[in-house]
Amino acid sequence: MDSYEKFIVDLVRVLKVDLSGYKRPQMERRINTLMRSLDIKSYDDFIQTMRKDKEIYERFMKHITINVSEFFRNNSQWKVLETKILPELLKKTPNLKIWSAGCSTGEECYSLAMLLSEKFPQGRHSIWATDFDKNVLMKAKEGYYLKKNIVGIPDTYLKKYFDPFEEGFKAKDSLKSMIKFDHHNLLRDKFPQNCDLILCRNVVIYFTEETKFELYKRFFSALRPQGILFTGSTEQIIRAKEIGYESAAVFFYQRP
């Protein structure tokens, strides 16, 4: 066991942070960069520093999580969701149970809430939005976005679902009421059951191939029959058929 592997073991033992499922090169590079900026020489010293200094620990957690999101990201895929996937799901049930796994600062789940409210308002849909990073979850709950971050929102949606403030726009309470935000660790915590739709986009690209495969199996179990997993534009499930998925569209995987 080398020093980095020991650090990963100690992180779980001392701080209950599990990075074992993440690709080593990227994560090791990010951690070492942070340690150099803090002038910390060894992994053991870093562990002890984080034990004693909450601010350093929070900085570490922020540094290792990659939070890049935008409204209606990859718009052509959202059109497929709107015109094909959601109508098919709504044939089975009028009230969709949806999980946004790795919701980051909330752009994805608010995009979904707007789409459902605008195009499929007849149902009482629920969106469970989760993330490992408590700081981005707080931002998502608050729903404040700078002007530069709302470029993907159609003007009609922006006027209807957001209130302007000095530096940007804030999600209205009517939009927030559709979403329940929770802290959740994909690698350790229990998954929900009988989801109609799961969105996990641009999240698992940072995990090892073994971890990805296990997560996709767990997502499969979390879906109800005919339920859909919506992945990111760089995330094709290589062994999808082995797990049991069928293709509903590109980047949309269905549990038969």
Hey, is 251 helix, strand or coil?
coil
Q: pLDDT class for 102, splitting at 50, 70, 90?
A: very high
Q: Is this structure's pTM higher than 0.85?
A: no
The phi and psi torsions of 123 (rounded to 5 degrees) equal: -95, 160
Strand partners, 168: 146, 165
Cβ pair 168, 144 in contact under 8 A: yes
Compute the mean pLDDT over every residue in the chain, rounded to the nearest whole number: 92
CA distance 198 to 130: 11
Q: In what order do the strands lie in the sheet with 126-131?
A: 179-183, 126-131, 97-101, 195-200, 223-231, 252-254, 246-249
What is the per-residue pLDDT across 106-130, written as a single tens digit (0 to 9) for each? 999 999 999 999 999 988 999 999 9
Map out the domains of the chain with their CATH numbers. Answer: 3-64 (no CATH), 75-254 (3.40.50.150)
Say yes or no to pLDDT of 193 above 90.
Answer: yes
What is the per-residue pLDDT across 132-180, written as a single tens digit (0 to 9) for each? 888 889 999 999 999 989 989 999 999 999 999 988 999 999 999 999 9
